[in-house]
Amino acid sequence: MTFEIVEADNLYNTILDARDNKGFTLLLDITAVDNLTRKSKAPSRFELIYILRHAEFKDIKTIKVYVKDENIGVTSISKLFKSASWAEREVYDQYGINFIDHPMLKRILNHEEFIGHPLRKDYDIRDAHYCTKAQDMMDELKPALDAKNLDMDEDDLMVVNIGPSHPATHGTIRSLAALDGEKIVAGVSEIGYLHRGFEKSCENHTYNQIIPYTDRLNYCSALMNNIAFSKTVEDMLGVTLPERGVFIRVILSELSRAIDHLVCLAAGLLDMGGQTNYWYFFNPRNDAYDFLSKLTGARLTNSFMRIGGMTHDLYDGWQDDLEDVLKKIDYGISESKKMIEHNRIFNDRLQDISPVSAEDAISYGWSGPNLRASGVAYDLRFAKPYDFYDSFDFDMVVGSVGDTYDRMMVRLEEINQSMRIIKQASKELPNGNICVDDRSIILPPKSCVYGSIEGMMNQFMLTIDGVKVPTGEYYGAYEAANGELGFYIVSDGSGTPYKVKVRPPSFYHMASYPEIIQDYQVADAILTLGSLNIIAGEMDR
Amino acid sequence: MDLSNTHLLDEAVVTTKLDAVVNWGREASLWPFVFGTACCAIEFMATAASRYDISRFGSEVLRFSPRHADLLVVAGTVSHKQAPILKQIYDQMPEPKWVIAMGACASTGGFYDNYTTLQGIDEIVPVDVYVAGCPPRPEALIDAVLDIQRKLKREKSFSVKHTDYKGKLDDV
Ligand code: SF4
């Protein structure tokens, strides 16, 4: 991976130039690396990494800045990209690097009573701090009100707090909305309630040990995270799976996309009072679970992938089971569609609610179905086809208005498209191996382990040391159910990554939420949140 | 009424203990509050959906206000940031109340042995039943509900439980 190395003073202008003159309009992620214990010498302890994507979605640009003094830091680019504000806050929280002119530089994932910056290499992973109370968030709401020239007392506003433990927030999200009557005039969101230290945990586990952790990022489609992570590491190793392995991954990945969307729609419609739809959407998901547990041994957290392949091949009779699942999903969505398609309540409550323009969506750093709903035809499976996606016949689903209705309907139709892919892939599934044939990556067969000393040593070394990944830095992107799921991995040549950063689609969707719910009612905001499909595990990591 | 005259009422009256009657009623009408934070909450959804159908055991009246609930199901990882919220919710529930720690995370912190996660919710609130699994299958959660039912039958119906429990966030 090549970086453009920039001086801290020139950073702002370089990124401005990249955005305006070179077409890199989508800021994917900002992260940092602490070089304290790195084998290769670096000019400074901290370095910042900016990852941008081109307006045509094929190319990415990575910019690196060596931070001379983390207390001074670099200029914030939150004026250039709406997505930068939260991304910079996270870097500040995790690494303690300052961003000059940032409008609200405070912790985001860790709580306010936390001391230190956990992703620094000299921070002990188990050094926890108790939190005794939730913050009141008025420090963030006040500026949001000031910006609109509003005053709590003079304008007779009321603040409602929603979450973090509220059924409508689907997990652990907290939002504060200032209301004028029923209308939301300003809002702020607080995240981090499900921050589970994924990135720090990665730094002391081998690559294969990280796979169970990836399950729990977007737990509605665990297999997809497995695949995205394994694929990134395989790219670093320079290996590709045999065709059969790739096809199986495609099948499982698309099935995961379908069931992820099913949960989103089930929960979204439940919020609206459409409980019958919940059964129709959730039951086929249960059937998919049956298939997955037969295959992987687990319903939800499958951990089925390995670096360089997967644990085992499909079982005998899988095809019938899978076909049955597809039939049930098809039945579920067609029945549900009958109930909602011409349903006045459904249409009135969703259409023209919180529309997001294509331009805004890009600036927010959106991706996946939410971005496509806003009319932007960006899907990594089309923009940069991997895993033979260019050989399957399926359509990209794109919305027009970008409202809550579009976001839900894009997902509904994507289930159909995923099923099309699954059908083609299962029909054309080639024979052969499922894993790469390389004993430095894949464990030897058990007969070798128990039958020869070499086999046993091989197993032992791979398990204890992990798969050795060549020194380097790499960003791998994958079209997951919620959008571009990226892994930025720094390797120092050992079996444990030096650093892993997830580029979580939900994080950026959530960052935009307080803005897009403005001028709508609380009841609308609940549905908007449902339509964004925020998965806290992936957002907070 | 004089107990010696009960024969006058034929079989219309059964004499029993108050605890037994109250607990018999409670057993089949537990109202759960689901503190769902992570992956385990998805399995809770499955438990509530029609395939596993928690209502077969009288626990389907999910309440989203702690003040209406008597069974707290903590489904998912509870981080330190989340801990005061959990405590507040537990405190808002009226007695008698029971707590299920669903999954490895709620029970022990699971494999999140790091700076973010509470190493078991029993650091904050007293737990009645722990459910193993990551996530537990719906059957395991139903079994935990049945455990609570068995447990509450043995309890005094009007006593306040866990008076000697002291959590990490009590009195701070
Ligand atoms: S126990 Fe496992 S499945 Fe449950 S919340 Fe924790 S990590 Fe997720």
pTM for this predicted structure: 0.90
The rounded distance, in Å, linking the Cα atoms of A471 and A221 is 30
Q: Is pLDDT at B2 greater than 60 in this prediction?
A: no
Residue in B49, B82, B85 nearest the CB of A283: B49
Q: Which fold has domain A198-540?
A: Cytochrome-c3 Hydrogenase; chain B (1.10.645)
Contact A213, A202 (CB under 8 A): yes
pLDDT at position B9: 67
pLDDT at position B79: 92
Type of residue found at B66:
P
Residue in B35, B79, B89 nearest the CB of A196: B79
pLDDT at position A226: 92
Distance A202 CA to ligand 1 centre (A): 17
Return the number of other C-beta atoms located less than 10 Å from residue A294's C-beta: 13
Instruction: Please report how many Cα atoms fall inside a 13 Å half-sphere around the Cα of residue B60, on the Cβ side.
Output: 12
- Its ipTM equals 0.86
Strands annotated E in A433-498: 472-480, 483-491
Q: Of the residues B40, B82, B112, B118, which should be mutated to test ligand 1's pocket, given the most ligand atoms within 8 Å of the CB? A: B40
Q: Which fold has domain B29-153?
A: Rossmann fold (3.40.50)
Partner A contacted by B114 (CB < 8 A): yes
Per-domain boundaries in chain B: 29-153
Q: At what angle do helices B39-48 and A275-296 cross, to 10 degrees?
A: 120
DSSP A151: -
Residue in B82, B84, B112 nearest the CB of A172: B82
pLDDT bin (cut points 50, 70, 90) of residue A171 is confident
Q: Please compute the mean of the pLDDT values over residues A160-174 and round it to a whole number.
A: 82
Partner A contacted by B90 (CB < 8 A): no
Distance A209 CA to ligand 1 centre (A): 16
pLDDT at position B55: 84
Span A4-100 CATH architecture: 2-Layer Sandwich (3.30)
> What would the pLDDT profile of A93-141 be if each residue is shown by its tens digit?
999 999 988 888 889 999 988 898 999 999 999 888 888 888 888 888 8
Tell me the shortest Cα–Cα distance from A352 to chain B, in angstroms.
Answer: 29
Q: Cβ–Cβ of B115/A289 closer than 8 Å?
A: no
Q: Please compute the mean of the pLDDT values over residues B24-44 and round it to a whole number.
A: 87
pLDDT bin (cut points 50, 70, 90) of residue B7 is low
pLDDT bin (cut points 50, 70, 90) of residue A398 is very high
> What would the pLDDT profile of A272-288 be if each residue is shown by its tens digit?
888 888 888 888 888 99
A128 to chain B: which residues are within 8 Å by CB? 80, 114-117
Instruction: Please tell me if the CB atom of residue A216 comes closer than 6 angstroms to any atom of ligand 1.
Output: yes
Q: Is pLDDT at B3 greater than 60 in this prediction?
A: no
The rounded distance, in Å, linking the Cα atoms of B4 and A512 is 74
Percent of residues, chain A, with pLDDT higher than 70: 100
Distance B126 CA to ligand 1 centre (A): 20
Instruction: Please tell me if the CB atom of residue A301 comes closer than 6 angstroms to any atom of ligand 1.
Output: yes
Q: Please compute the mean of the pLDDT values over residues B31-52 and round it to a whole number.
A: 87
Contact B104, B95 (CB under 8 A): no
pLDDT at position A167: 76
The rounded distance, in Å, linking the Cα atoms of A24 and A361 is 14
Q: Which of B33, B43, B74, B116 to mutate to test the interface with A (most CBs of A within 10 A)?
A: B116
Instruction: Please tell me if the CB atom of residue B40 comes closer than 6 angstroms to any atom of ligand 1.
Output: yes
> What would the pLDDT profile of A485-530 be if each residue is shown by its tens digit?
999 999 988 889 999 999 999 999 999 999 899 889 988 888 899 8
Type of residue found at A494:
S
Per-domain boundaries in chain A: 4-100, 198-540
Instruction: Report the DSSP beta bridge partners of residue B71.
Output: B32, B98
pLDDT at position A440: 86
Distance A251 CA to ligand 1 centre (A): 25
pLDDT at position A7: 83
